[in-house]
Structure 1
Amino acid sequence: MRHQVCIIGGGPSGLLLSLLLRRAGVDAVLLERRSRDYVLARIRAGVLEQGLCDLLREAGVGTRLDAEGFVHGGTVIAAHGQTVPIGLRTLTGKTVTIYGQTEVTRDLYGELDRIGAPVIHEAEDVTIHDADRGAPFVTFTQNGTSHRVDCDYIAGCDGFHGVSRRTIPAAVRRDYEHVYPFGWLGILSETRPLHHELVYAGHERGFALCSMRNAHLSRHYLQVPLADRPGDWSDEAFWDELRRRLPPDLAETLETGPSIEKSIAPLRSFISEPMRWGRLFLAGDAAHIVPPTGAKGLNLAASDVFYLSRALIARYAGDESLLETYSATALARVWKASRFSWSMTRMLHSFPDEGDFLRRMQGAEMAHLAGSPAAQTALAENYVGLPW
């Protein structure tokens, strides 16, 4: 088969890129290793920057987002005896929207189905060939049958463990990584959200986050050791520990109930350079991972898609300049957003091996944030998303 662009990876970034290209008349095919049911069963966060919301509307999938998403004009940072409301709308004129990543994926699938865009599921043994030459192609197997896609360009949206980044030779690629000595234990429960805004709490026992999916569905997180497993934590133990880490006035209002999903995710900061090798372009988790503190993962993938979709559309209109600068442009924003996620993680998590000095510095950071409108504005500008 022959297509102008072959997209590898059927998560939100690959689906959104496919839809944006198709709407602009660029012929794209998408390959996904898993089934659609598997992709839609993934539970992921959903704090969407205004830029991502605008991009989804541009792609024609903003109807349900606008009807069901929770628009947030602020967030709350609580640690070291300080509770600091961050007025996102007041400080920046922008907001974020709570809308689950699964719902974003469902909306994208629905629109791609409607316009008849090709999405090939259960594509196994995907291999990229001749990406550094003028005629790249991708091979894969499906139900035991071999297939080949000839194309002009390849977009690697297949995540941290995908084939795309590993295709770039080690001599060309440079990876930067920091693995944190803890993970996040998250539960989903049919309970009322703790607060009308997200609450980020730092405590000497560890970090906690109280979020929501809707008015009757909450998502809460605790910092836990990497050796822990979800089964080590009963619902009662989770709720008791969450109360300990919250400010007392908020802990008193916490509504608890049975968990309907429970999982632990490790935390890492990871960036791979460059994000282009010949006719192969990386986007999203294939090129970078951020800790979830600050909610930048999905949003960074969206900014990559924004840059890459514009570059490919311009290429087929006769202008290759945006393709030439894609990697540098995307990485400039990646590093800035990664810095923010790293700094939020350092400010609010417990690092027992680093001793009392770090705890005192974290306290000083919170005191500065509480007393400085400029510091609150800087945090708000990063939280709502830096300009694309």
Structure 2
Amino acid sequence: MLNEMYRRMLSNKSVIRETAAYGHQRAAQIGYENVFDYSLGNPSVPCPSAFTKAMQDLLAQEDPVALHGYCPNQGDPGFRTAVAAHLRAKFGLPYEQKDIFPTTGAAGAIAHALRAVTVPGDEVLTFAPYFPEYGPYVEGTGACLKVVPPQAPAFQPNLDAFEEMVTPSVAAVLINTPNNPTGVVYSAETLTRLAAILTQKSQAYGHVIYLVSDEPYRDIVFDGQTVPYPAAFYPHALTCFSFSKSLSLPGERLGYVAVRPGCEGEEVLVDMMAQISRFTGHNCPPSIIQKAAARCLDVTSDLGVYQTNMDILYDALTALGFEVERPGGTFYIFPKALEDDANAFCRRARDFDLLLVPSDTFGVKGYVRLAYCIGTEKVRRSLPALEKLAASYR
């Protein structure tokens, strides 16, 4: 008998992926250069040369049997040690090898973290707008995702509503900063109050409420800002990171969970995640990618193009009369649509070969997401199409 849960998921496919697929079809008709595809957050800059050199050196110099052999269930020890040292130096928290669990990207990190700190029937809170795959990640644990309503237009978390929604059933809170889809960086003031609420509620209910922090865009930040590190504000924090954006390695699927020192269960959480891997068939990301990334923790791809693209789009959108918050990071911008129905707005945008993602998929009405991880020249060429789209509403 077929599993009906997964059969039902076939009718609820990703709008982002569907839009990208339409873009490929349209490109076959009119040429890729003529389709302004802002749908998919796929990095547009190459990985740093240091990563390429690390891969070449490993293949040329290491014993192939050892290089391509199985890792321990907890991951490559050298990678875990290097990540812990990197986090100690960057954020001043005393991470050790035992606190790091390698995963297949941030998705694998979130899935493992949530399974480790929830049981079926628990609630997990997140803030709208949010990455839509959080739904399947949480549902797969048997927990229930509850969404805190948005606070437009700045889109800092709505902490008044959040405080009301933190009931005894809440086991974890899932946040994302810098945020997909808005590009908003959660402020130190926001994180301070969030931590205070979690501390107070944990004490009142007699159980720790964990903070799961999704941070794949941590290194893409604009205007000289510093991204506050959520685990520095709250001890019971599991940080989920991916090298997909910082090193432009989305296809290599490497990330990690970092269990903050002092977290409830610190001594067993990583070993628990290794057992979760047995249950899910995860069993470590590729060993060679872990070893290569361990040599590149203090470098990133050339990420400056994303600020260039953001500045161009932000200036153009505001000049055209769009309501839009200036992103603090990521490679997304989240303007308010020019009609209430964001889906209808995105359908009209296709008339001008602009591919945008409606905000409904992120738990918010009336906005659209543009993923501007495309060439700057193409961003500039898309501006007349944006002007025609705006003019069609006048």
TM-score grouping bracket, smaller chain normalisation: under 0.3
Quick check: which one's strand share is greater? 1
TM-score scaled by length of structure 1? 0.20
Quick check: which one's helix share is greater? 2
